[in-house]
Amino acid sequence: MTRLLLLVACLLTLLVPHRALAEPGDIDAAARGVVRVVIIGTDGTNFYPVAHGTGFAVSPTRIVTNAHVVAEALEDETLRIGVVPNHGEGGALARVVTVSEGKDLALLELAPGLRLAPLTLAGAALPSGAEVNAVGYPMNVDQAQGLSVNDIIQPQPPVKSRGFLSDARSSRDVATLLHTAPIARGNSGGPLLDACGRVLGVNSFGAESSGGDAEFFFAIATTELAAFLRASGVEPQINARPCRSLAELDAEDAARRSADQERARAALAERATSAREARERARLEAEMAVLQERENAMAIALVLLLASAGLGFAAWQVSRDPARRRLAIALGAGAGIALVGAAASWLTRPGLAEIDRRALAATRSPATAPAQATTRPEGGTLTCTLDEGRSRITGPSEASIAFTWDGKGCVNGRTQYGLAEGEWSRLFAPDSEDVVAINTYDPGARAFRVERYLLSAPAMQAVRAARARYQAPTCNAGQPPATLGERQSEVRALLPTRPNERLYYSCRAE
């Protein structure tokens, strides 16, 4: 049965189509770092947009876009480059750091004041036919919405379109990806994303089409982008791990739990069978021993009874001769002693009820009692290693984590975890980035889990407001862990049903 469950889990993994791996929040999370790049002109008094494209963050203050998006600004010193995020109050100016016209890539640096969530680059190629998503600001959508030129300098959510990867090929001596995710003028410089929201390429241009021709589009491959960034002094975030869905991981965990339960039931049944056999064997042994002792006791009683009768008869015979009176008395005393011994042997023989008592005592003895599970201590210093097979990793991650656990929810002697529904956890909502992290530790399984929610700025503001309503206690502050767990549950209610990342660590005691 256990092997069958594991086989079913493996088949489910193989049968899940690639497009099912995408999590709904992944593209939204990546879109947080997508911006509109606007070329701004001036008449000496007022500023006005001249053209625009798309860009995305590769660090909190660095933006990638196409070289042709900023070409006018490079040729005309009166033009400025503005960056408009998809949320917030407004944008910021940017300057060109590096341009590669041959690769059609440009790196911009933001003026102080605006920080963005950097996107992660995909470090592994996808097969032809894989689902891809384009994110950007197509002009035809602006026109359809009736947006004026001044409207485009206001924060607007980017447009997302879905398609499929056709092939990887070289265009104009540049490694590009051919795909079918619709883009238009204005999308230039925006990211082409995989199902986990990682950058596969930088959308650059489309194939000319007329009549009924199919439309295909080209993105500068991340191999070109990564080399360009490193040459510009920027080390990009790269993730080459397979894109896996949480639904897939949950299914595998459910199969793993079912297999564990099946093994536990099988072990319990085996122990029950062993215990029954031990009881039967102990009863048989006890029955044989008791019956043998009863037979021995009765045989001894019979022998003593016969001896008593013989001695008594001899004493009666001898008593007729007065000269032998003392011998008669001795023989009579021996007959009495033998009679008492016979009675004692008969009365002290084990009864049939002794069989059950001895069988029960034998099955409770240390030799036949089942081994008791050793309880692992909860506290101590732990080293936890990332289990990639049980994790969904879309960004940077630590291969190992070390911390101390005191068994009462205290980590490293200072960070108190809350307790809710039997789970120890701590929620973090930092001001420095739009990420909510929930760390969970299971002392019984020695498992540490980190779940990250990559939220939009408005959602993050709501979470921070809820988090500000309580003060997390330090270790040994006297507040019950359940109180912190309850307050954290109020914040967790604001989060999406699924995180964007799940990092699973297996821990061992030092």
Catalytic annotation, residues: 68, 104, 188
Q: What single string gives the DSSP state of each residue in 148-184?
A: -TTGGGS--PPEEEEEEEEEEEEETTEEEEEE-S---
Among residues 475, 336, 359, 353, the alpha carbon closest in space to that of 414 is found at 475
Among residues 183, 161, 152, the alpha carbon closest in space to that of 52 is found at 152
Residue 374: count of CB within 10 angstroms of its CB: 6
Residue 268: count of CB within 10 angstroms of its CB: 10
CA gap 236, 227 in Å, rounded = 10
Element (H, E) at 370: none
Q: What is the DSSP letter of 215?
A: P
In whole angstroms, how far apart are CA 239 and each of 122, 125, 200, 347? 5, 11, 11, 86
The angle at the Cα of 422, spanning 420 to 425, to the nearest 5 degrees, equals 55
Among residues 303, 304, 297, the alpha carbon closest in space to that of 346 is found at 297
CA gap 370, 268 in Å, rounded = 11
Q: What single string gives the DSSP state of each residue in 109-158?
A: EEPTT----PPPEE-SPPPTT-EEEEEE--HHHHHHHT--TTGGGS--PP
Q: Tokens 């194939």, residue?
A: 207
Question: Is 400 in a helix, a strand, or coil?
Answer: strand
CA gap 300, 343 in Å, rounded = 10
Q: Spell out the alpha helix ranges (H) of 319-348.
A: 325-347
The angle at the Cα of 406, spanning 401 to 407, to the nearest 5 degrees, equals 105
| Interstrand relation of 105-110 and 191-193 (parallel, antiparallel or unpaired) | unpaired
CA gap 37, 93 in Å, rounded = 10
Give 141: exposed, middle or buried? Use CB within 10 Å, 0-12, 13-18, 19+: middle
Please say whether the beta carbons of 255 and 2 come within 8 A.
no
Please say whether the beta carbons of 189 and 55 come within 8 A.
yes
Among residues 185, 157, 144, 142, the alpha carbon closest in space to that of 84 is found at 157
